[in-house]
Amino acid sequence: MFIVSIDPDECSGCNTCADGCPAHLLKFNGEKTEVAGEETDCMGCESCVTVCPTGAVSINEM
């Protein structure tokens, strides 16, 4: 199982990670991007991590 998280202090609000997430777990809230689905529904593909320009997104394996 994988868990995706976004550090709000590092997030620039570019929404690139949400665009890259095939599971559609990340959504832009008008200011920042946040985990909108169940964080444990992450597939662990790291698409969001790869495209994040600020390093705000992380995926941890449980």
Residue ranges of E strands in 1-62: 2-6, 26-28, 33-35, 57-61
How distant is the alpha carbon of residue 25 from its chain centre? 7
Q: What is the pLDDT of residues 14-28, one digit of tens each?
A: 999 999 899 999 999
Q: What is the pLDDT of residues 7-58, one digit of tens each?
A: 999 999 999 999 989 999 999 988 999 999 888 899 999 999 999 999 999 9
Provide the pLDDT for residue 38: 86
CA angle 49, 40, 31 (to 5 degrees): 55
Q: How many of the other CB atoms lie within 10 Å of CB of 58?
A: 15
Provide the pLDDT for residue 14: 94
> Is-above-0.85 flag for pTM?
yes
The CATH code that applies to domain 2-61 is 3.30.70.20
Q: How far is CA 56 from CA 12, 29, 33, in A?
A: 8, 15, 10
Provide the pLDDT for residue 32: 92
